[in-house]
Amino acid sequence: MRYPGAPGTVTQAAWEAEVPRRGDLGDVATLVGSGGVCVLSGAGISTDSGIPDYRGPSGAARRHAPMTYASFVSDPDARHRYWARSHVGWPQIARARPNDAHAAVAALQRTGLVTDVITQNVDGLHQAAGARDVVELHGALARVVCLGCAATHDRTEVQERLAAVNRAFDTDVAALRSTQVNPDGDAELPAEVVERFTMVACPTCGEGPLKPDVVFFGESVPRPRVTACFERVARARALLVLGSSLAVMSGLRFARAAHRAGTPVTIITAGPSRGDDLASLRLASPLGEALPALVSALRA
């Protein structure tokens, strides 16, 4: 799949032109109005909250590949680099607030039309908007787990401990906190700055290493979580995919499962999606406009 902004890729206009259009918002309203909808959301629903996506236009400026699980657990230098960048990027994630699209999903759930919400995002914004029983497929940045003793910690507390031992580092990077923050919450930092960062140990066992409670690239989603998602998709009358290119199997498998079961799949996201051939309805409308309009149409 090609994306705009990087060398050898297509322009934004050409990228958007590749999106197949099937149906309109009225068709989506008819489908959602029948109830039993399972929402599967991706990074595109959070871009209006200031969090860039991985593959769309807001993610085009990313210069480094995302952290992989293998590198994190086996390479102390890679782990140190991740935490330095995450320490700088976390405040932007923590300040992010739900946007109109998150609010619309929560509103649809309150009416009973949306029965389940599965998100590939790790930002917690669906819950902050009022959505209930959200399955966080890839975990949550707001939690930190110790790979040594398995204790779980609140990220805010870990951040405070990091700040206490990195006062000089924080002064050095103060001007960088407005730079590009990636969807997984880490910021771009020069190597010489990373070297000045100090990591902390696990508050429980005094060792570690600590890891954000998220699924890194190359890491498997816990099987019980995957099973729970398949169960929600299986009982749904429709699957509504919002802001996801479905570029990785982690999310695509649920769209494929719905399609195999004869459950209608609707996709609303900006650029091309790997699941476009599965969708009976396909819109490229901005979610911050389309979802509030959908809520209004269903209330009329």
Provide the H-helix boundaries in the chain.
12-17, 25-32, 69-74, 76-95, 100-110, 125-128, 155-165, 167-173, 191-194, 223-235, 249-260, 287-299
Q: Rounded to whole angstroms, how far apart are CA atoms 22 and 282?
A: 5
Strand-pairing partners, residue 68, are 217
Residues whose CB falls within 8 Å of the CB of residue 160, separated by 6 or more in sequence, listed in order: none
Q: Rounded to whole angstroms, how far apart are CA atoms 23 and 28?
A: 8
3-state secondary structure 36-72: CEEEEECHHHCHHHCCCCCCCHHHCCCCCCCCEHHHH
Task: State the catalytic residues.
Answer: 138
State how far Cα 107 lies from the chain centre: 20
Q: Are 78 and 66 in contact (CB under 8 A)?
A: no
